[in-house]
Amino acid sequence: MTNTSPPPFPFDAPAPPESGPPTQVRLPSGRTAWLVTRYADIRQVLDDYRFSRAEAVDPPPPGATPDVLIRSSPDVLINMDPPRHTSVRRQITGDLPPTARRAEPDITTEVDRLLDELAEHGPPADFVARFAVSLPTTAICALLGVPRADHGLFHQWAAARYFAADASAEFRELDAYLRAAARRPHRGGLIGAIASLGARPTEEELVGNLLAFVIAGHNNLATLLGTTVLALCRLPERLDRLAREPALAPAATEELLRHTRFQNLNFARTARADVCLGGRLIRRGETVITHIDSGDRDPEVHWDPDAVDFDRSDPVPTLKFGNGVHRCPGADLSRYCLTATFARLPARFPGLRLAVPESELVWKPADQLHALVGLPVTW
């Protein structure tokens, strides 16, 4: 089975738009917007308070799926501006870094367990179904402090949401679970840390952001695991080197994140004042959209940007996790999952390669992410 209209392949032509000054484009809605493609300009948009995310949020269309409703909710952090964003993020994610570090042993154990299961299954095997969808679920459960007895529920919800066209029932079950968890005494994990706050966020702010964290965190990391491992399958010399030098895993993570196509377009912003951006005057009220993948291949900041080079002497941080106040709160945890995978997978499965021609890879219908439905591999 092949996808009848797959998105552009993440590593080949057609490449992301060439980096250049902001350009006006017409959106599917008929509105015009400024498309921003250069690394420095993208960082400015993501970090400049004069570009409002809250003012750019469109109301959800009739019959919108639960995922779209969450992405459109004014109670979700990505749709807030300071000072409300500052206050709510501090309450909800203030304890996240130490909680994420405490989750790292569970993640490492899970990587080893999933690789054991992959080896026991034998080739060929679907890396997405047997690894990429499972690891983010375990990471999120460890981060939130979900009791181990409930991990199976999260794995069921995650698999249904990733593979099914409509997972509304699973969404409602997850919503009910998080609401109940937020109301009862809780020990450990991010939910427990939030529940113990003296000045708690409202239930809609809390549950809406936990839902967004679980859904976006899972989908984004599962997508990145699939596409970065696909990159390694296409670059056997890089895979072989990682097998010999697992200490390169952190550098490989950054380079593969930078190189891999991930999003079509990032969330829109609205200019709250006249702003000079990349030599263009963006007027108050105009819409700005950033193209993260293009910024990550900007030749002004990345030497030979289309090459995968684990030895870059001057690596520039990837934009995949955003920048500024809206930097992804799960960025460090995602990096750890990817690094733990790249430190173990190549040595465990030397000769890892695609089990089908690339033309037979199946992609999810194009929306925000370039996500694989499956990745059949052999070794």
What global pTM score does this model have?
Answer: 0.90
Judge contact between 223 and 102, C-beta under 8 A. no
In a domain, 75, yes or no: yes
Residue 48 CB neighbour total at 10 angstroms: 17
Per-residue pLDDT, 185: 64
**What pLDDT, in 10s, does the model give residues 56-80?**
998 887 877 777 788 888 888 899 9
Of residues 365 and 40, more confidently modeled = 40
Q: Across the chain, what does the average pLDDT equal?
A: 87
Tell me what the mean pLDDT of segment 39-43 comes to. 95
In a domain, 13, yes or no: no
Tokens for 5? 């209209």
Q: Which is nearest to 335 in space by CA: 236, 252, 231?
A: 252
**What pLDDT, in 10s, does the model give residues 93-129?**
777 788 888 889 999 999 999 999 999 999 999 999 9
Q: In Å, what is the CA distance from 324 to each residue of 59, 224, 231, 329, 341?
A: 25, 21, 28, 11, 27
Tell me what the mean pLDDT of segment 233-239 comes to. 95
What percent of the chain stands above pLDDT 70? 91
Per-residue pLDDT, 366: 61
In a domain, 16, yes or no: no
**What pLDDT, in 10s, does the model give residues 339-356?**
999 999 999 999 999 999
What whole-number distance in Å separates Cα of residue 289 and Cα of residue 265?
7
In a domain, 3, yes or no: no
Strands 287-290 and 269-271 turn out to be antiparallel
Write 353-360 long-range contacts (CB < 8 A, 24+): 353/233, 353/236, 353/377, 353/378, 353/379, 354/230, 354/233, 354/234, 354/378, 355/123, 355/124, 355/125, 358/9, 358/234, 359/2, 360/1, 360/2
Q: Which domain holds residue 157?
A: 23-378
Per-residue pLDDT, 2: 43
Total domain count for the chain?
1
What whole-number distance in Å separates Cα of residue 168 and Cα of residue 364?
17
In a domain, 11, yes or no: no
pLDDT above 80 for 275: yes
In a domain, 299, yes or no: yes
Q: In Å, what is the CA distance from 47 to each residue of 41, 51, 325?
A: 10, 8, 7
- Report whether the peptide linkage leading into residue 124 is cis, meaning its omega lies within 30 degrees of zero: yes
pLDDT above 70 for 368: no
pLDDT above 50 for 14: no
In a domain, 12, yes or no: no
**What pLDDT, in 10s, does the model give residues 312-334?**
987 789 999 999 899 998 899 99
Q: How big is the chain by its Cα radius of gyration, in Å?
A: 20
pLDDT above 70 for 22: yes
What's 238's domain CATH number? 1.10.630.10
Tokens for 254? 């950054």
In a domain, 14, yes or no: no
pLDDT above 70 for 10: no
Per-residue pLDDT, 190: 75
